[in-house]
A and B are shown apart, each in its own frame.
Chain A
Amino acid sequence: KAGVTQTPRYLIKTRGQQVTLSCSPISGHRSVSWYQQTPGQGLQFLFEYFSETQRNKGNFPGRFSGRQFSNSRSEMNVSTLELGDSALYLCASSPSGTAKLEAFFGQGTRLTVV
């Protein structure tokens, strides 16, 4: 069974640009969550999608957005990039997002904003 796939693995962008990251969950999983990981703030929850609907949202500005497609693949978008957006972005998939089941993480996309 293929794991969670995130693309691209590495990305360098310039301040002010926008970026789109992709996450393909494990086949059959309908919940996808996104996290930002930085040395200073640790792992922070961005949002969770289930069946194409955003079900939970963390405390991030509106520049951070996401969506989920009918095949459960998800994308997150960051507009007007800032230096502080440099981070490892992780997505996690689970069958339904219920806390009764474990989540499976991808290897992340390392975003560097210069």
Chain B
Amino acid sequence: DAKTTQPNSMESNEEEPVHLPCNHSTISGTDYIHWYRQLPSQGPEYVIHGLTSNVNNRMASLAIAEDRKSSTLILHRATLRDAAVYYCIGTNAGKSTFGDGTTLTVKP
């Protein structure tokens, strides 16, 4: 299983970019890197995922290191609604191993 390591917490100011790092040094060649976020009392919500190339969608960007041992989730302009626990996951065929996640606090 791909084990991931993330900082416990990070803070950001509203309207500023946020870079959330993740180390996944044990990831296999076929594991995708997924990011989810979870608000209190809700299930996790999909954010973005990728395999080798950097990815962009309407929510965020994902920068994957060339050796795939780390990745960074980029929120281009943090809003108060982005405050959540962000999980970086190594995923292979329906089995996801969640780490402890990063609690993002966004200050107005």
Task: Give A residues with C-beta under 8 Å from B.
Answer: 4, 31, 33, 35, 42-45, 48, 50, 55-56, 58, 90, 92, 94, 97-100, 102-108
Q: Is the CB of A94 within 8 A of B94?
A: yes
User: Which residue of the partner chain, among A4, A50, A55, A103, contacts B96 with CB atoms under 8 Å?
Assistant: A103
Q: Is the CB of B93 within 8 A of A97?
A: yes
User: Which residue of the partner chain, among A58, A90, A98, A105, contacts B93 with CB atoms under 8 Å?
Assistant: A98
Q: Is the CB of B95 within 8 A of A108?
A: no
Main DSSP-derived SS at the A contact region: strand
Q: Is the CB of A107 within 8 A of B98?
A: no
B-side interface size class: 20 to 34
25 A-B pairs with C-beta separation under 8 A: A4-B43, A33-B95, A33-B96, A35-B98, A43-B87, A43-B98, A45-B95, A48-B95, A50-B94, A56-B94, A56-B95, A90-B43, A92-B44, A97-B93, A97-B94, A99-B32, A99-B34, A99-B49, A99-B93, A102-B34, A102-B46, A103-B34, A105-B45, A107-B42, A108-B42
- Within the complex, what minimum Cβ distance (angstroms) separates B25 from chain A? 18
Q: Is the CB of B44 within 8 A of A42?
A: no
